[in-house]
């Protein structure tokens, strides 16, 4: 522990040193001196560009910016052209540009330049003008890749926090939609936005999140996934407690239910919390499909969770302890197939399971055409060859195939990865204790889920603690007009969601 403290101190001293280096000085009256000073800060920045010119009023001006981070057209038409030909004073109110700030600290100017603003220095002035001329390289809005949908919107978040907020606001043009902005990271500050509905979300939860975000001490946040690790309640749990989504409609829907969302600049994912275990089994499409279809799908998903966690374990337990549960014909066919396999069922299952997970991971990183080939070679040919070579039994191949498919029926990728991990201890415990072991495994999983809390809300909600009226949206999804309350699991201050939309009888 003392070693850790030592490193912490070292780090702190390093960072303070860095801060002392950067200039806290103000601008002087001398334009050349000011320019020299700023240029020295950007000595190893080939994209640092400046334009020296005489304004119409006759004073010497310099416009500084980082090439490619700024919009050249705006720069020319809205700043340079008016200053040189149209207006007589160089001040904030005269220049026809929408966002101008006035700053005199060198460090502020430095930050402004680094984030894509341009800085105008004038001879004899101690204040510089900062123009918001950012124009980052950005991709256009496209379909969400990991959460494709049949009926929902085809817009996904992109790498700009401003655009992402705009996407959410399109769904919720409401005054109560609050966005609190923070800057996280010392070396490369990243903008983090906390979004919630002010009159719905619980202020205590919001205060808690705010506190957690402000406590983060880090160089930089590159991705939302990194932010999760700093703010989640149980970092050592297998289960995700915060939803990562790239769908603005999903975020809007969760905001309406009383949850909050966090956007991180540069990241096309949004965080949504507080989530419960069962929330991860519903997707936004559920509410656009007919409720019976959705109910059926939800049952399949929970069933998929069950299969994906324990089907190989069942196989092992059956073959090593409880052969009696097999129908006699199946016993014969398994026996015939197993007799050629020299390994214990656990080893057999591990061989296939590890290869199957390998194929998953491999094909996830490959481009579509190659990925398909890998899938076919891996799944079909490998399985068939393994059976013929007598490494695994053909029932095992079926078991693994069903297990892998069931893993992907779970809509959330984080949960399905967790399930892939849970499967292995389940297999081991089944090989040691048979069905007793599987039951113990499930009890442990249940205990883990019940024991967890996410932002003060029980993770097992609404099953543990039981909130029966919320079961309307658990396995059976009631028609939307039947669900009047916001989920208890979101711990909202405003519980009512809607009125009676379908009144019976004539009006």
Partner 1 sequence: MKYLQIMFILILLLWTTGCDDFLLIEEVDTIIVFGLDTSDKEGAFTFFEASPVFSETADKKYNIKKAVAHSAREARNILNAQATGHTVGGKIQLVILGKNLLKEKNIYPHLDVLFRDPKNEINARMLVVDGDVDQFLGADMKDKGRIGIVIPDIMRTTHRVGGTVDTLLLDYHRQMMDKRVTPSMSEMTKMEDELIVTGTALLNREGLYAQSINRRESSLLLMLQRQTNNPLSLDFRLPEDFVKAENERTEMSINIDNINYETQVNCDQENFELMIDMDIKGDITQKLFYFDMENRKQDFEKQLDKQLAEDFEKLIAKFQQDELDPAGFGRYAKAYCYPQWKKIKNDWPKDFAKSKVTIRPHIEIRDYGVQY
Query: Quick check: 229 binds partner 1 (CB under 8 A)?
Result: no
- The region of 16-24, 29-37, 427-435, 487-495 touching partner 1 under the rule CB under 8 A is 427-435
Binder to partner 1 among 137, 329, 502, 504 (CB under 8 A)? 329
Query: Quick check: 340 binds partner 1 (CB under 8 A)?
Result: yes
How many CB atoms lie under 10 A from the CB of residue 383?
20
Minimum CB separation from partner 1 for residue 346, in Å?
11
Task: Give 110: exposed, middle or buried? Use CB within 10 Å, 0-12, 13-18, 19+.
Answer: middle
Minimum CB separation from partner 1 for residue 397, in Å?
16
C-beta separation of 359 from 379 below 8 A: yes
C-beta separation of 274 from 206 below 8 A: no
C-beta separation of 426 from 295 below 8 A: no
How many CB atoms lie under 10 A from the CB of residue 449?
18
Name the packing angle between helices 203-215 and 224-231 (round to 10°): 110
Query: Quick check: 336 binds partner 1 (CB under 8 A)?
Result: yes
Minimum CB separation from partner 1 for residue 209, in Å?
27
Contact residues for 198 (Cβ-Cβ < 8 A; gap 6+): 176, 177, 178
How do the residues of the chain divide into helix, strand and coil, expressed in percent and rounded to 5? 50, 15, 35
Minimum CB separation from partner 1 for residue 345, in Å?
8
Q: Going residue by residue from 78 to 117, which x/- string records binding to partner 1, judged by CB under 8 A?
A: ----------------------------------------
Minimum CB separation from partner 1 for residue 347, in Å?
12
Query: Quick check: 21 binds partner 1 (CB under 8 A)?
Result: no
Query: Quick check: 302 binds partner 1 (CB under 8 A)?
Result: no
Query: Quick check: 481 binds partner 1 (CB under 8 A)?
Result: no
C-beta separation of 46 from 19 below 8 A: no
Binder to partner 1 among 162, 335, 456, 465 (CB under 8 A)? 335
How far is residue 256's CA from residue 241's CA, in Å, rounded to a whole number? 19
Minimum CB separation from partner 1 for residue 451, in Å?
15
Minimum CB separation from partner 1 for residue 450, in Å?
20
The number of CA neighbours under 13 Å toward the Cβ of 198 is 7
How far is residue 393's CA from residue 315's CA, in Å, rounded to a whole number? 11
Binder to partner 1 among 6, 53, 323, 408 (CB under 8 A)? 323
Query: Quick check: 444 binds partner 1 (CB under 8 A)?
Result: no
Residues between 344 and 363 with contacts to partner 1, criterion CB under 8 A: 344-345
How far is residue 261's CA from residue 33's CA, in Å, rounded to a whole number? 46
Task: Please report, as ranges, the residues that interact with partner 1 according to CB under 8 A.
Answer: 318-321, 323-324, 326, 328-329, 331-332, 334-336, 338-340, 344-345, 429, 432-433, 437
């Amino acid at each position: 522990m003392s070693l850790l403290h030592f490193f912490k101190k070292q780090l702190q001293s390093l960072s303070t040193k860095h801060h002392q280096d950067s200039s806290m000085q103000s601008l002087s009256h001398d334009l050349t001196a000011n320019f020299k000073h700023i240029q020295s800060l950007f000595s190893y920045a080939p994209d640092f560009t400046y334009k020296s010119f005489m304004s119409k009023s006759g004073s010497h001006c310099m416009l500084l910016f980082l090439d490619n981070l700024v919009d050249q057209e705006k720069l020319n038409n809205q700043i340079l052209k008016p200053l040189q030909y149209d207006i007589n004073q160089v001040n904030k109110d005269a220049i026809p540009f929408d966002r101008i700030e006035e700053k005199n600290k060198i460090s502020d100017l430095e930050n402004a330049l680094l984030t894509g603003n341009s800085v105008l220095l004038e001879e004899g002035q101690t204040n510089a003008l900062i123009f918001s001329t950012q124009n980052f390289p950005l991709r256009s809005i496209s379909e969400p890749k990991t959460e494709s949908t049949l009926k929902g919107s085809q817009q996904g978040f992109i790498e700009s926090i401003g655009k992402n907020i705009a996407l959410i606001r399109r769904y919720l043009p409401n005054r109560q939609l609050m966005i609190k902005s923070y800057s996280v990271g010392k070396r490369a500050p990243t903008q983090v936005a906390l979004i919630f509905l002010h009159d719905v979300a619980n202020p205590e939860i919001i205060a808690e999140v705010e506190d957690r975000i402000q406590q983060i001490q880090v160089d930089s946040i590159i991705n939302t996934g990194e932010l999760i690790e700093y703010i989640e309640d149980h970092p050592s749990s297998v289960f995700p407690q915060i939803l990562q989504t790239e769908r603005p409609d999903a975020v809007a829907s969760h905001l309406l239910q009383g949850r909050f969302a966090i956007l991180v600049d540069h990241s096309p994912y949004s965080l949504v919390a507080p989530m419960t275990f069962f929330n991860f089994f519903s997707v936004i499409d559920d509410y656009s499909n007919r409720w019976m279809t959705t109910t059926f799908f939800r049952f399949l998903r929970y069933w998929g969770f069950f299969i994906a966690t324990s089907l190989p374990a069942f196989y092992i337990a059956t073959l090593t302890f409880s052969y009696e549960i097999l129908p006699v014909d199946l016993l014969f066919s398994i026996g015939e197939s197993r007799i050629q396999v020299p390994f214990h069922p656990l080893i057999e299952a591990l061989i296939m399971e590890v290869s199957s997970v390998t194929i998953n991971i491999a094909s996830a990183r490959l481009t579509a055409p190659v990925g398909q080939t890998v899938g076919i070679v891996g799944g079909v040919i490998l399985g068939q060859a393994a059976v013929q070579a007598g490494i695994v039994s053909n029932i095992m191949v079926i078991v693994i195939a069903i297990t892998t498919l069931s893993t992907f029926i779970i809509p959330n990728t984080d949960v399905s990865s967790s399930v892939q991990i849970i499967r292995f201890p389940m297999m081991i415990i089944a090989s040691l204790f048979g069905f007793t072991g599987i039951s113990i495994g499930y009890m442990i999983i249940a205990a883990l889920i019940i024991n967890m809390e996410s932002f003060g809300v029980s993770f097992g909600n609404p099953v543990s603690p039981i909130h029966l009226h919320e079961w309307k949206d658990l396995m059976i999804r009631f028609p939307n007009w039947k669900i009047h309350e916001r989920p208890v699991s979101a711990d909202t201050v405003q519980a009512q969601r809607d009125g009676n939309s379908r009144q019976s009888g004539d009006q």
